[in-house]
């Protein structure tokens, strides 16, 4: 039995089933804006962390890390939808909703974010010297993040009645309790692709908004905001953001000079 040959054949088959977002593709605009936005936010994060690290303190640390994790999830979402793995993409959407809600809450309560950071660092220092071993230990202060996400989910009900969308994403993709979409992966489904890309764009712009707000009280503010403003304008030409973003998009922080 030639395991290597079988593996290579199957890999080739998997990688052949993908989308090329050329000018004829029905969702090319959404895909291009999503990927360009991810790239822009990723570059901004790198710039902030390399040029303004002295201004990043315990009020900013967690949000910066969570936005980086959000960028990773957005990259995963893009790759999943490009290769027609819609269930995986929906899992990323659920993760991104929680990430956005967590960053939003911590931005609105930066002193609280600083206090949680101090407690968590103290716990880590007490438990382990090597940060790479963190996954082996229960860090009690992490429980506070779960409480925050739970609180923000209840607030999210204003835009998502009964948390129907979140519960759907949970049951369909995060937990194996719904059969919906089970046979779609690997086949191209335009509506599924569009829905995933639109959610990806909404959550990307949500993280961009929160990243601007995160550094509004530092010299990094202009460096963060300036390259995002043109992308915000271009974004609104191809997709109308969901209602939970409307208030944030109208914030004067994006228009003051």
Residue range 4-38, pLDDT digits in tens? 999 999 889 888 889 999 999 999 999 999 999 99
- Residue 65: which pLDDT band, with cuts at 50, 70 and 90? very high
Domain ranges of the chain: 25-254
Residue range 224-247, pLDDT digits in tens? 999 998 888 888 888 888 888 866
Q: Give the mean pLDDT of 163-183.
A: 75
Residue 234 to residue 34: CA distance in whole angstroms: 11
Nearest to 205 by CA among 228, 238, 237: 228
Tokens read off for 126 = 């007490």
pTM of the model: 0.90
* Residue 97: how many other CB atoms lie within 10 Å: 25
- Which is more confident, 45 or 139? 45
In degrees and rounded to multiples of 5, residue 256 shows phi and psi of -75, 150
Percent of the chain with pLDDT strictly greater than 90 = 60
- Residue 136: which pLDDT band, with cuts at 50, 70 and 90? very low
Residue 96 to residue 106: CA distance in whole angstroms: 15
Residue 76: pLDDT over 90: yes
Nearest to 201 by CA among 28, 25, 30, 23: 30
Average pLDDT, the chain: 87
Q: Give the mean pLDDT of 140-167.
A: 84
Percentages (nearest 5) of helix, strand, coil residues in the chain: 75, 0, 25
């Amino acid at each position: 039995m030639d395991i290597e040959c079988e593996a290579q054949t199957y890999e080739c088959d998997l990688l052949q089933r993908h989308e090329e977002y050329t000018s004829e593709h029905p969702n090319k605009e959404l895909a291009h804006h999503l990927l360009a936005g991810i790239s822009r936010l990723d570059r901004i994060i790198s710039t902030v962390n390399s040029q303004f690290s002295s201004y990043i303190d315990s009020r900013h640390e967690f949000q910066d890390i969570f936005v980086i994790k959000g960028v990773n999830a957005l990259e995963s979402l893009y790759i999943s939808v490009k290769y027609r793995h819609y269930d995986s993409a929906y899992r990323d959407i659920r993760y991104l909703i929680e990430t956005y809600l967590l960053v939003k809450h911590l931005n609105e309560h930066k002193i609280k974010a600083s206090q949680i950071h101090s407690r968590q660092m103290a716990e880590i220092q007490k438990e382990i010297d090597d940060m790479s071993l963190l996954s082996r230990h229960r860090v009690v202060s992490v429980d506070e993040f779960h409480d925050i996400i739970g609180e923000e989910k209840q607030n999210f009900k204003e835009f998502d009645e009964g948390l129907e969308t979140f519960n759907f994403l949970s049951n369909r993709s995060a937990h194996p309790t719904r059969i919906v979409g089970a046979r779609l992966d690997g086949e191209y489904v335009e509506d599924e692709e569009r829905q995933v890309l639109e959610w990806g764009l909404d959550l990307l712009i949500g993280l961009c908004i929160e990243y601007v707000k995160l550094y509004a009280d530092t010299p990094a503010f202009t460096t963060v905001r300036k390259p995002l403003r043109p992308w915000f304008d271009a974004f609104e030409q191809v997709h109308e953001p969901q209602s939970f973003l409307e208030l944030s998009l109208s914030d004067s922080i994006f228009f003051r000079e």
